[in-house]
Amino acid sequence: MSYNDRAYALFEERQNERGIRLDEVKAKLKALKVETPSWGYGDSGTRFKVFKQAGVPRNAFEKFEDAAQVHKLTGICPSVAIHIPWDKVDDYSKLQQHAAELGVSIGAVNPNLFQEDEYIFGSVTNSDPAIRRKATDHLLECVDIAKTVGSRDLSLWFADGSNYPGQVDIRKRKAWMLEALTEMYRALDPNMRMLIEYKFFEPAFYHTDLADWGMSFNMANKLGPQAQVLVDTGHHAQGTNVEHIVAYLLDEQKLGGFHFNSRKYADDDLIVGAHNPYELFLIFYQILDAAADADAGVRATADQIAYMIDQSHAIELKIPAMLRSVLNVQTQYAKALLINFDEVRDAQEKQDVLAAEQAVREAYEQDVTPLLLALREEMGVPADPMKAYLQSDYGSGILARGKGGASW
Ligand code: LRH
Ligand code: MN
Ligand code: MN
């Protein structure tokens, strides 16, 4: 028996003793799908500078080529989110066909209402009706693109806000936001969803029209069942209990998706799980708990969550950074699958605080390496996707693209 086989046998023995069935765990791990963002492959930076890397994609087609590498090596990233107009192409069915040839597909469509000079004082909440019209038309254009390429989800984030007290009429802007979203909602096909993101600040520093989950939740409720909330893990104030928000939205059947990234101070867009792996694990704990809820609607909500990465930084290579993010998501999900929920519930019923906390933490403390190695072998992907990438020629091959590729 090889070292890995022995390690897996021991791991299995241990998990069986803990009451965990590894065949179920592996089936769930195989079903996990994580969407990567097209913009995570292009040049990025800070608000001080965009840094140019050699080899980054020059257009949307090349972004899909890089994303396809991440899928090939991990087996769990079959779709790629696009951002319009960053990924504007003449013919979206050509992009869709290109994606299919690479073994991936177009995922969530993200309208972009924060790039043009006209939007300096806002887009859908601008006090100028002509600018609001233009912004809403862009939302409708994105609904059309999603229909053309067969995407179910539109992810919506608005930079709209203000910097000074008195600068804007906050309540009027709330009405304009709802007006634009309502027009967009009416354009959806019945299978489509609007995922409404929020962020507490940046680029606006005094007030932001959709600043927190409650504001997105309120909009989604007013719109109807096809509108849900998107939780970007980097969009909360310090110390916010993100897993509580997740549990709350799941219970309301209003959690539509995630943008995963890690952060230390603000919307840092760093590699997922780099700073806060326990938070990520606790998010999955809440999702798995809801996935076994007595209410079928809550179970279905948990099942249909769109897991997306929204990570892009400048000081690391793009494809390895994305691989690290994806692998960190997979690792924390694997750990959460090792929670013995009966034990947790039993301790909760007895109000045994220490036992309940122990039952959750114990799963986090398991080393899931043998499990992930066995899983990858069964899935036919490299045991160590990062190593496989670094040993492949892909990274050197793309250098021929030169510097000065696509950026935001
Ligand atoms: C805003 C955000 C939003 C955008 C992306 C590029 O901070 O998280 O999701 O679409 O970054
Ligand atoms: Mn985001
Ligand atoms: Mn963000």
* Cα(320)–Cα(390) distance, integer angstroms: 8
Structure tokens at 32: 């996990």
Distance CA 274, CA 258 (A): 17
Give phi and psi for 270, each to the nearest 5: -85, 170
Cα dist. 251→245, 293, 371 in Å?
Answer: 10, 9, 31
Q: Which of 310, 312, 407, 408 to mutate to test the pocket of ligand 1 (most atoms within 8 A of CB)?
A: 310
Q: Helix axis angle, 277-291 relative to 318-336, nearest 10°?
A: 50
pTM score of the predicted model: 0.98
Question: What domains lie within the chain, and their CATH numbers?
Answer: 32-339 (3.20.20.150)
Query: What are the residues whose beta carbons fall under 8 Å from the beta carbon of 338, sequence distance 6 or more?
Result: 15, 18, 20, 25, 363, 366, 368
> What is residue 299's three-state secondary structure?
helix
Q: How far is the CA of 340 from the centre of ligand 1 (A)?
A: 35
Q: Of all protein residues, whose CA lies closest to atom 5 belonging to ligand 1?
A: 310
The encoded tokens of residue 407 equal: 């950026």
ipTM: 0.99
Q: Separation of 207 CA from ligand 2 center, angstroms?
A: 18
Distant-in-sequence, close-in-space partners of 323: CB < 8 Å, separation ≥ 6: 70, 73, 74, 385, 386, 389
* One pLDDT digit (tens) per residue for the chain, 408 residues: 999 999 999 999 999 999 999 999 999 999 999 999 999 999 998 889 899 999 999 999 999 999 999 999 999 999 999 999 999 999 999 999 999 999 999 999 999 999 999 999 999 999 999 999 999 999 999 999 999 999 999 999 999 999 999 999 999 999 999 999 999 999 999 999 999 999 999 999 999 999 999 999 999 999 999 999 999 999 999 999 999 999 999 999 999 999 999 999 999 999 999 999 999 999 999 999 999 999 999 999 999 999 999 999 899 999 999 999 999 999 999 999 999 999 999 999 999 999 999 999 999 999 999 999 999 999 999 999 999 999 999 999 999 999 988 887
Cα 174 from Cα 164, distance rounded (Å): 17
Q: Which two tokens stand for residue 241?
A: 């209990």
- SS3 of residue 306 by DSSP: strand
**Which residues lie with the beta carbon below 6 Å from any ligand 1 atom?**
39, 110, 157, 197, 199, 232, 259, 267, 310
Q: Which two tokens stand for residue 173?
A: 């802007």
| Ligand 2 centroid to residue 335 C-alpha, Å | 25
The whole-angstrom separation of Cα 345 and Cα 367 is 23
> Relative to the alpha carbon of 234, which ligand is closest?
3
Q: What is the pLDDT of residue 129?
A: 98
Q: Which atom of ligand 1 is nearest to the CA of 157?
A: 3
Buried b (16+ CB within 10 A) or exposed e, 44-64: beeeeeeeebebbbeebebbb
| 329, 278 contact by CB (below 8 A) | no
The token duo for 70 is: 């991440």
Q: Which two tokens stand for residue 346?
A: 């039993």
CA of 40 to the centre of ligand 2 (A): 11
Which atom of ligand 1 is closest in space to residue 267's alpha carbon? 7
- DSSP H or E run through 259: strand 255-260
From CA 278, how far away is CA 342, in angstroms rounded? Answer: 21
pLDDT (0 to 100) of residue 408: 73
According to DSSP, the β-strands at 44-45 and 105-111 are unpaired
| Residue 87 Ramachandran class (φ > 0 left, ψ -120 to 50 alpha, else beta) | alpha
What is the number of the ligand 1 atom nearest to the C-alpha of 232? 8
